[in-house]
Structure 1
């Protein structure tokens, strides 16, 4: 039952990324769908009790997200990278606590972090939608009655 709920939330988040997102959001959506399929393929790859295949797949996803984070102007990607880093770090628990019962703690944390990642998908879809709307409406606050006197550093630093 929990698995069905998690997969449903994941697919709803990916659909939101595809519907409202730009190419960055759609790339993440494709990566997540690939992750859902490939995790079943690499699950049998284990070293003792350590799920090396799944850990490697999660590391690859983290590196791809970091590459997008460093090249694109999307705040949700930063949050996604942070949550994915937490998920990757939980894969170290079986190596550090060999023979102990902390492995289930790591799995539980990973499930909860995945739900945070899914929530981040919805935030990403909203951010892409808001960026398009802001660009469409002129991207300036000229009509704003309570305009700030602070200088927009992004506008002055861009070529």
Structure 2
């Protein structure tokens, strides 16, 4: 399945959690538009409160079950899927790490979502952080295997 990510963080989510490389589209609307225009693709976005959700998102139907335990919303449009990480990626990562009793500090990352966002947003910095963020994601997955497996099974 071709996968599209809104930003580097969503592409990393795809790589670590779904085992799929994602194409970085640099924008929520671009990802959502691909979901609507192409068949059998997957898009991954986050719900950044500082950015509008765009005109297309509400046209893509939410499907049940909602993955409340891991703060993920799954939507479907024809044969394509959209994963929404809620709220924005860094807050989602920090919140889920707390729920999972995993500390971002163990991966040399800040526990404050805004500071993590600032760190990730520094141009050219993400490549240096990718391994640490990926390690944190893997630790979170290991504590929530059932929920992430359920998510993967719903998008096949």
Choose between structure 1 and 2 for higher RCO, CA contacts under 8 A separated by at least 6 residues: 1
Flag the structure with higher helix content: 1
Flag the structure with higher strand content: 2
